Amino acid sequence: MNSGIPLVSIICTAFNQEKYIDQTLEGFVIQKTTFPFEIIVHDDASTDNTPLRIKAFETRYPHLFVTIFQSENQYSKGDYAIDRIVYGTARGKYIALCEGDDYWTDPFKLQKQFDFLETNDDYGLVYSKVKIFSQKDNKILKNTYGGPFSTIGDLFISNYIPTPTVMFKASLYSDYIKTINPYEQKWLMGDYPLWMYITSVSKVKYLDNTYSVYRLLDDSAAHSTNPLKELMFVESYQDIKLYYMKRMGYDHLEKKIRGHCYSSKAHIYLFKNEQNVSELTKDIDASGIRSIKIWIIRIIIGNFILRKILKSYWSL
């Protein structure tokens, strides 16, 4: 069923994902629901055939698709224009997310999540776990990502909510923008701070199912082969935690959160080889970054003996 004003808006952002986008979009159009939904796809000026693949689906399913094609890359501007555009376009009571390289496997994903939120008004978001597909190995890995958590304190320590699995109230996103104003925070991720906000004002439900697949790539926003990008992503991740910790009075977790930052895999990654260390040092000198954590890493980089000890300790 898909006539009338949509009750669910699927939001998909894509950039140079011609190899994966068909599988992503197919996971949307196979959804079987008793309610109308829309598929909003935002292509951020891809230079490959991603726009052509999106247009092919739009031609086949014109009643489902709302497409936005950029002539200039918006993400590189760093002003969160993509979020303002896609969320401003959404008409649904609820929003479901899936990036252009992840995909859904259950044709009843939307229906199951919609039914729960419709019958449990005190819940603002529902999610599940995801299977992980390694693009490098071309296979589904044994481990999954995501799971239940007891309190928002748990969410400070780790993100339990995989983006391709969520459905949440659109009204909560509007409240989030007005209350937190994330565009002014300059965070490098949009999903995690939103989960933190929703969890702080509403109940969140974990459904013990696997509806989606997260594609693990060698180079993405969350996993980069560039050591500085990897470091900055983790820095931003920790800044989000510290922001909400202070906002919500969880000051007793600060030491644990900061400690988790220093031992992060992204930081450990820097010591894997001399080339990464050299590149990072040049980038730090060029950018003039002076945060305490980067100074700590800089000291470690400059200390040959300590670096060797760390390599041995973490078996890098």
Write out the chain in H/E/C secondary structure: CCCCCCCEEEEEEECCCCCCHHHHHHHHHCCCCCCCEEEEEEECCCCCCHHHHHHHHHHHCCCCEEEEECCCCCHHHCCCHHHHHHHHHCCCCEEEECCCCCEECCCCHHHHHHHHHHHCCCEEEEEEEEEEEECCCCEEEEEEECCCCCCHHHHHHCCCCCHHHCEEEHHHHHHHHHHHCHHHCCCCCCHHHHHHHHHHHCEEEEEEEEEEEEEECCCCCCCCCCHHHHHHHHHHHHHHHHHHHHHHCCHHHHHHHHHHHHCCHHHHHCCCCHHHHHHHHHHHHHHCCCCHHHHHHHHHHHCHHHHHHHHHHCCC
pLDDT digit of tens for each residue in the chain (316 aa)?
676 899 999 999 999 999 999 999 999 999 999 999 999 999 999 999 999 999 999 999 999 999 999 999 988 877 778 888 999 999 999 999 999 999 999 999 999 999 999 999 999 999 999 999 998 888 999 888 899 988 887 887 788 999 999 999 999 999 999 999 888 887 878 889 999 999 999 999 999 999 999 999 865 555 445 556 666 777 777 788 888 888 887 766 666 555 555 444 444 444 444 444 444 444 444 444 444 455 555 455 445 455 555 555 554 4
Angle at 276 between CA 272 and CA 278, to 5 degrees: 125
Torsion angles phi and psi, residue 156, rounded to 5: -65, -35
CB 134 within 8 A of CB 141: yes
CB 76 within 8 A of CB 70: no
Q: Which CATH number fits domain 8-216: 1.20.1050.10, 3.90.550.10, 3.40.190.10, 3.30.200.20?
A: 3.90.550.10
- pLDDT given for residue 183 in this prediction: 82
Q: 38-48 b/e with 16+ CB inside 10 Å = b?
A: bbbbbbbbbee
Residue among 109, 141, 144 nearest 130 (CA): 144
C-alpha–C-alpha distance, residues 114 and 191, integer Å: 20
Let me know if 129 is exposed, middle or buried by CB neighbors in 10 A (0-12, 13-18, 19+): buried
- pLDDT given for residue 241 in this prediction: 82
- pLDDT given for residue 252 in this prediction: 65
- pLDDT given for residue 271 in this prediction: 40
C-alpha–C-alpha distance, residues 140 and 45, integer Å: 30
Q: Where are the domains of the chain?
A: 8-216, 227-313
- pLDDT given for residue 21 in this prediction: 97
Beta-carbon contacts of 120 under 8 Å, excluding residues fewer than 6 positions away, are: 203, 205
- pLDDT given for residue 225 in this prediction: 52
Beta-carbon contacts of 305 under 8 Å, excluding residues fewer than 6 positions away, are: none
C-alpha–C-alpha distance, residues 168 and 180, integer Å: 17
Around 93, how many Cα atoms within 13 Å sit in the side-chain half-sphere? 14
